[in-house]
Amino acid sequence: MGFDIYYILEKIFQHLYIFIISWGMAIVVGSLISIFITREKHKKIGTKILILTGTLQAVPSIAIIAIIFLFVGIGIVPAIISLFLYSLVPIIFNNTSALLNVDKNYIEIAKGMGMNKKEILLKIEIPLSMSSFFSGIKNAAVIDIATATVASAIGGGGLGEIIYIGISNFDNESIILGSLLVSLLAIFVNESIEIVERKVIKYKEY
């Protein structure tokens, strides 16, 4: 193992860069899709998409990366696209499931109080779906960080490079180092999201 601290830090920041961009995009796009397909006039489509996303969660990440590689080539862009698409699935699944299963009694009470559709969404449906929302983005975060390691194979950079160098050179120390750093990064991100989740849900309770 011959990596200096600057090289390791560079790979950590590369890993974080492709993770944050793809994950952030997936949160925004996935949430908007979930809201759209759970509106009354789109609920039939929403139920079908819920079934589809549930099925797609079984698709291996390497399959998504391979398909994107065929159409886009190598580099950081195909890596981000692959991670975005793969992390989109748990976000849409969790958000759609939560919004479709909001207790109808709360919605009827809100209508009785004179709330319009926008107010019901913002004040009733979204707050009641927060736990599932955070569950979805945590799943997506862990998936993204792990899949970013595989995405290094198509030129995405990141900590996966350390692992692949170790595999190529039969260097167990490099493999262990890369794997350990990816694991620690996933734990750190997961714990950070849980801190935000507790603060947001606690705030919503007041």
Rounded mean pLDDT, 114-125: 89
pLDDT at 15: 94
Distance between CA 175 and CA 143 in Å, rounded?
Answer: 19
Q: Where are the domains of the chain?
A: 5-205
* pTM: predicted TM-score of the whole model, two decimal places: 0.86
> pLDDT digit string (tens) for 126-138?
888 898 899 989 9
Half-sphere CA count of 87, side-chain side, radius 13 A: 32
Pick from 143, 190, 178: which is nearest to 19 by CA?
A: 143
pLDDT at 155: 79
Residue 57 has pLDDT above 80, yes or no: no
Residue 90 has pLDDT above 60, yes or no: yes
Half-sphere CA count of 160, side-chain side, radius 13 A: 22
pLDDT at 58: 78
Q: How confident is the model at residue 204 (pLDDT cuts 50, 70, 90)?
A: low
Residue 53 has pLDDT above 80, yes or no: no
- Please state which of the four CATH numbers 1.20.1530.20, 1.10.3720.10, 3.40.50.920, 3.40.605.10 is assigned to the domain occupying 5-205: 1.10.3720.10
Rounded mean pLDDT, 135-159: 87
Q: How confident is the model at residue 194 (pLDDT cuts 50, 70, 90)?
A: very high
Distance between CA 134 and CA 156 in Å, rounded?
Answer: 27
Q: How confident is the model at residue 51 (pLDDT cuts 50, 70, 90)?
A: confident
Residue 136, C-beta contacts closer than 8 angstroms, at least 6 positions apart: 30, 90, 91, 93, 94, 95
Q: How confident is the model at residue 1 (pLDDT cuts 50, 70, 90)?
A: low
Rounded mean pLDDT, 193-200: 89
Rounded mean pLDDT, 35-57: 79
Q: How confident is the model at residue 203 (pLDDT cuts 50, 70, 90)?
A: low
Residue 70 has pLDDT above 90, yes or no: no
pLDDT at 17: 93
Work out the percent of the chain whose per-residue pLDDT is above 70.
97
Work out the percent of the chain whose per-residue pLDDT is above 90.
28
